[in-house]
């Protein structure tokens, strides 16, 4: 009787063990379900594939793209989530994605949004546009099933800004009345692209009323970025008789960007003042040094004459 009881207990123990093992092993149905899990259809898109970057001094250079991610997953009992991780690059320019990880659940029916921020360096040359690339990877949870997402690209257009400087080596000169002189005006393009500028004499009519002759080289010039050009203003002051002259005349010039005006861009005009001091005796056609020489010669002749009389 005792032997039969022990045999029965051993049989029941083995039955329980094998039953537990059967529960742990995957059933044929579960294996079929796992093999039927398909890769999701994940798509990345940008609301506006082209954005403009303002890179003038003082501007942030920040460009923001708004995008969407859609996910059509094969929702099986053993698939609870589909996680999409985004990555961005822009040729070395810093890129920030917010959020960079998107989680899709079975109940999610709409696309999820994200934002890509690109920091463009200041004063980036005009025409050197950048390209933003956003790629990603998806993976199911739980499980190890994962794969890549086709990338999407956007264009970063560099906006041209207009800045320029004007300088003269000697903006103040002193001449004798009736003289001629030149001002060499150096114009530099400090913008990030080529520019067409024009130089104008604001008080030209006032100078002509003084009977000054003012001539200028080609006032419309094209200057490449970070390059310089020189425009020469030639002046002949008034020819008149005067015992003594000591006058200062101001020449007002203005530099503007014609190209910026034509494109409706912001470019403040630049004004500059030149000064001409006329100082001396105004005797047109007569050289004061020659006059002094004549006076000296007459003085010598008079001295010699008086000596002869005294002798």
CA distance 39 to 138: 9
The larger pLDDT score, comparing residue 46 to residue 106, is at 46
Residue count (the chain): 311
- With a pLDDT cut of 70, the percent of the chain lying above it is 78
User: Which structure tokens are listed for 311?
Assistant: 């002798």
Could you tell me the pTM of the whole model? Answer: 0.71
State the chain's mean pLDDT as an integer.
85
Highest averaged pLDDT of the listed ranges 21-25, 34-38, 241-245: 241-245
According to DSSP, the β-strands at 62-72 and 112-119 are antiparallel
- pLDDT bucket at 103, cuts 50 / 70 / 90: very high
What percent helix, strand, coil does the chain show, rounded to 5? Answer: 20, 45, 30
Highest averaged pLDDT of the listed ranges 48-52, 216-220, 235-239, 266-270: 48-52
The larger pLDDT score, comparing residue 294 to residue 281, is at 281
Which residue shows structure tokens 């320019």? 93
Element (H, E) at 294: helix 288-310
The domain locations on the chain are 38-158, 164-284
Give the three-class secondary structure for 123.
coil
The larger pLDDT score, comparing residue 310 to residue 210, is at 210
User: Which structure tokens are listed for 137?
Assistant: 């990877």
Buried-exposed string 225-242: b where 16+ CB fall within 10 A, e elsewhere: beeebebebebebbeeeb
Give the CATH fold of the 38-158 domain: Immunoglobulin-like (2.60.40)
> Side by side, which strands form the sheet with 220-223?
172-175, 270-282, 242-257, 195-201, 220-223
Q: Can you give the pLDDT at residue 24?
A: 45
- CATH number for the segment(s) 164-284: 2.60.40.2310
As a whole number, mean pLDDT of residues 113-140 equals 96
The neighbour count for residue 11, using CB atoms within 10 Å, is 10
CA distance 286 to 241: 10
| Same fold for the pair 38-158 and 164-284 | yes
């Amino acid at each position: 009787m005792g032997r039969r009881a022990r045999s029965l207990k051993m049989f029941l123990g083995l039955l329980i063990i094998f039953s537990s093992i059967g529960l742990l092993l995957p059933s044929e149905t579960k294996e079929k379900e796992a093999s039927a899990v398909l890769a999701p259809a994940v798509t990345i898109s940008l609301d506006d594939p082209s954005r403009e970057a303002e890179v003038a001094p003082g501007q942030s250079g920040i460009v923001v793209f708004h995008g969407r991610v859609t996910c059509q997953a094969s929702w099986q009992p053993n698939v609870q989530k589909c996680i999409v991780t985004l990555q961005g690059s822009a040729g070395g320019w810093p890129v920030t994605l917010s959020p960079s990880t998107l989680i899709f659940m079975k109940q999610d029916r709409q696309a999820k949004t994200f934002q890509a921020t690109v920091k463009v360096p200041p004063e980036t040359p005009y025409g050197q546009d950048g390209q933003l690339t956003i790629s990603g990877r998806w993976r199911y949870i739980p499980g190890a099933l994962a794969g890549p997402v086709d990338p999407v690209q956007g264009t970063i257009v560099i906006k041209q800004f207009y800045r320029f400087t004007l300088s003269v080596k000697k903006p103040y000169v002193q001449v004798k009345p009736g003289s001629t002189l030149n001002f060499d005006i150096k114009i530099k393009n400090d913008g990030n692209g080529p520019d067409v500028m024009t130089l104008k004499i604001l008080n030209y009519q006032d100078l002509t009323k003084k009977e000054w002759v003012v001539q200028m080289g080609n006032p419309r010039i094209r200057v490449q970025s970070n390059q310089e050009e020189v425009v020469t203003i030639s002046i002949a002051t008034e020819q008149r008789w005067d015992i003594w002259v000591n006058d200062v005349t101001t020449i007002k010039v203005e530099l503007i960007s014609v190209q910026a005006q034509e494109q409706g861009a912001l470019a403040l005009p630049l004004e500059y003042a030149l000064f001409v001091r006329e100082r001396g005796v105004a005797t047109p056609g007569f050289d004061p040094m020659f006059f002094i020489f004549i006076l000296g010669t007459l003085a010598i002749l008079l001295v010699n004459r008086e000596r002869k009389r005294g002798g």
